[in-house]
Amino acid sequence: MLRALINRSPDLKRLRDEGYKLEPRNGFLLVHRIPYLNSSLEIKEGTLVTDLDLAGDKTVKPKNHVIYFIGDQPCNKDGMPISGIQHNNATRKLVSTITVNRSFSNKPNGGYSDYYDKITRYSDIISAPAISIDPSRTAKVHEVVEVTEEESVFKYIDSNSTRAEIVTISEKLVGQKIGIIGLGGTGSYVLDQVAKTPVLEIHLIDGDHFLQHNAFRAPGAASIEKLRSQPYKTDYYFDIYSKMHRGIKSHPVFIDTLNISMLDELDFVFICIDTGEIKKTIFDYLLGRKIAFIDSGLEVSVAENSLLGTVRTTLVTDQKNDHIPKRVSFASREDEDYKSNIQIADLNALNALMAVFEWKKHLHFYQNLEGEYTTIYSTNMNEIFNEDHKS
C-alpha cells in the first residue's frame, strides 16, 4: 500500500525521486533528515511531519498548511529562532508511534498546490541557515526507507482520523474482536459504524438470508440481482464491508448451545436479536466468561394512525448486570404479550448508533460523565433517558 501511495501520487514520487527520505506512516507523511541549525549553531537533522489528504491511494491538494517537526527549534545564523514560521512549540503525540516537538505555519496565497510544494517550501526555509554554513548539507539524501505493508485493518489509509486529529483516541479501539449477533435492521447499521473503526475483527453471526424486505431497513442499496440470489446476510455484508476492513468474518449460522463457543475469543458483543430463549442463553454465556455486551431493543406500535417508538440500548458487564431483568425481555415474538414486530429503518439506525455510542463510551473513546448502562429514547416525547447507573 505504501509504495503504491508514493508511485501513484506524482507529488510524493517527485519528492522521492529528488532524494527526500519519505516514510508514510499511520496516515501521515514523515520526511526525514532535514538539516537545520540549533541555538548553539550546530547543524542537526529533524523530521517534517504532515497529515495526508487522500483520494483512495493517491494524494490530493493539502487542506492544512501547518506542518509538524521532530527536532529542536530551527534557528537563523545568529542563533535566534526562525520567527517567520513559528506556530506552536508544544511536544505532542499524534499517534502512538509519532511524537512531534513543534509545528510551523507558512501559508502561501491559495494554499499549497500539492505535497511537493508544501514539503520543499518548509524544507527550504528550515534548511537555509544550515546550508549557508555547510553547502554540502541537504535534505536530498537519496536514502531509501525500507517499508513493509502497514499493519492496518483497513485496505486504505484512514485519513479521516488524521484530519480530525483523533488518531490517538481511535487507538483505544485497536485490537478489539467484536461480535454482532443478528444482521437485521439494527445489526447491519451497527456493522456500518464498527467497520469504520480500527478494531481487529468483526464477526457477523446470523443464519438468515438477505431478502427483499431486509433491503428496506439496511444501509446502502441492494441490487435486484443480489436480491434474486438470496445470499446469507453475513455473506452479503461481508462482500460489502470487506472492501474496506480486513477483519470481517462471516458466520451464516444461528447461535445455539452447540456453536455458542464461537463467542469465546470475542472482546465485546452487540446483541441485535429479539428471540427470547436463545438470547437468555447468550446472556448467561457471555456473563460467565466476563465478555461485555450491549443488547438493543426496539418497540414500535400503532396509535391513532401514527407510530410510537421506543429505542433502548443496555450495556452489560461483569461489574454491572443486575439491571437485566427490568430492561430485557426474554419472551418470544410469538408470545401474546410481545407480538409487535414493526421495523423502521430510521429507528433501526438510531438504535445502532446509540449502541455504538455506548460501546465507545465503555472503551473511553467518548467521555462518559453520566455513567449510565441503559439509554432509552421515546419518539413521542422526543426525550432520552439515562438509566441504571453503576452504584
Report CA torsion sign: 352, 356, 361, 366: negative
Q: pLDDT (tens digit, 9 = 90+) per residue, 246-296?
A: 999 999 999 999 999 999 999 999 999 987 789 999 999 999 999 999 999
Contact 330, 281 (CB under 8 A): no
Of 310, 316, 307, give the one whose Cα is nearest residue 298. 310
Distance CA 76, CA 39 (A): 8
Q: What is the pLDDT of residue 168?
A: 80
Of 180, 197, 346, 182, give the one whose Cα is nearest residue 274. 182
C-alpha cell at 107: 501559508
Q: What is the pLDDT of residue 8?
A: 86
Which of 160-164, 191-195, 330-334 shows the highest mean pLDDT? 191-195
**pLDDT (average), residues 173-188:** 95
Q: What is the pLDDT of residue 230?
A: 97
Q: What is the pLDDT of residue 152?
A: 75
Q: pLDDT (tens digit, 9 = 90+) per residue, 292-340?
A: 999 999 988 888 899 899 999 999 999 999 999 999 988 765 543 444 5
Q: Give the Cβ contact number of residue 7 at 10 Å.
A: 13
What's the whole-number average pLDDT of the chain?
91
Contacts of 326 by beta carbon, 8 Å cutoff, 6+ apart = none
Q: pLDDT (tens digit, 9 = 90+) per residue, 119-156?
A: 999 999 999 999 999 999 999 999 876 544 455 788 87
